[in-house]
Amino acid sequence: MRALLAGGAGYVGAHTAVALLEAGHDVVLLDDLSNASAAAADRVAKITGRSVPLVVGDAADDDVIAAVFDAHGPFDAIVHLAAFKAVGESTQKPLEYYDNNLNTTFALLRVGIARGIRSFLFSSTGTVYSDPADLPFTEESKTSVDLSNAYSKSKRMNEVVLEDVARVNPGLDVTVLRYFNPVGAHPSGLIGEDPKGIPNNLMPYVQRVAIGDLDRVGVFGTDYDTPDGTGLRDYIHVVDLAEGHVAALEKGAPGYAVYNLGTGEPVSVLQLVASFEEAVGREFRKEMLARRPGDVAATYCDPSKAERELGWKARLTIDDASRDAWKWQSQNPRGFEGD
């Protein structure tokens, strides 16, 4: 199989490229590098010993995508990972989020279908689920576009579009993967999460505390109805997540399908911090803070459909993720900037 990975130089994209290459498939990366580094493609090639073409361009531009097909195609599949993803930022910049996150899908579908792709794999999110009473979330749990931020809304809007597209293209395999909380890094330490600015997510924030760039870990909310009072989340190792993409592409069939990719075993904020402290070998300064507006006590999934239909199951733990993330961060304190 030959796959075009839009957003392929990003965090999930680079790990997915490694997983596909190691499974014997061919990949080409398309990325505008707005939140990624070209060095990621070189690192993927180093890990796999395989050629990894990178095209720098906008996945919302039909002409750019068509040029990639002309130069590197044909492609059997498109894996769409080219989204803006900072939840907080999306509440301040909704137009930019809707513009990018929807128009990339439209362009990739227009060109891909015209050029005869067989599979379209979409990176979605568990934040499309709208009723906390549904825990653990299954693929049949309630979803909505009446959500708290433009990021989540844009993902759900894309899912609606993709279901309609699949309905009128019966030979096309359209698969939506609802991620929960990707963490960790490749065990080689060569690729990992490298956000620009102050991280929005917990583990990369803790990583910056570990190397001294930030002086403390802020714990938002200590009075939730959870075992230790802090929020529970379904943290999935990015290597497991990447392997979920391979399973979906290899086992997919024509039609529209949705899968949760998570562990089904929630971990609290304090448990994650303790795991990372164990990996590093020292404790971090922590500041207990009030809940943030919009945060919920717990969110985690039932991933059994992916195991049943794709033969995929998360196998790595939060301690594996902490170990691998620390190896990445300690070997690359400035991320990909050192390349």
CA pair distance 183, 206, nearest whole angstrom: 11
- Cα dist. 256→36, 126, 163, 171, 302 in Å? 30, 17, 6, 10, 19
**Distance in angstroms (rounded) separating the CA atoms of residues 288 and 290:** 7
Q: How far apart are CA 170 and CA 255, in angstroms?
A: 6
Residue 170 CB burial class (10 angstroms; 0-12, 13-18, ≥19): exposed
Structure tokens of 69?
């097909």
Catalytic residue among 11, 97, 129, 151: 151
State the maximum Cα–Cα separation within the chain, in Å, rounded to a whole number. Answer: 56
Q: Are 229 and 295 in contact (CB under 8 A)?
A: no
- Report d(CA 195, CA 192) in Å as an integer: 10
CB 308 within 8 A of CB 139: no
Is position 235 annotated as part of the catalytic site?
no
Spatial CA neighbour of 139 closest among 303, 314, 252, 296: 303
Q: Which residue intervals of the chain are DSSP H helices? A: 11-22, 39-48, 62-72, 87-92, 94-114, 150-168, 202-210, 238-251, 269-280, 304-310, 318-331
Instruction: Give the angle subtended at the CA of 184 by the CAs of 257 and 79, to the nearest 5°.
Output: 30
Q: Catalytic residues, which ones?
A: 151
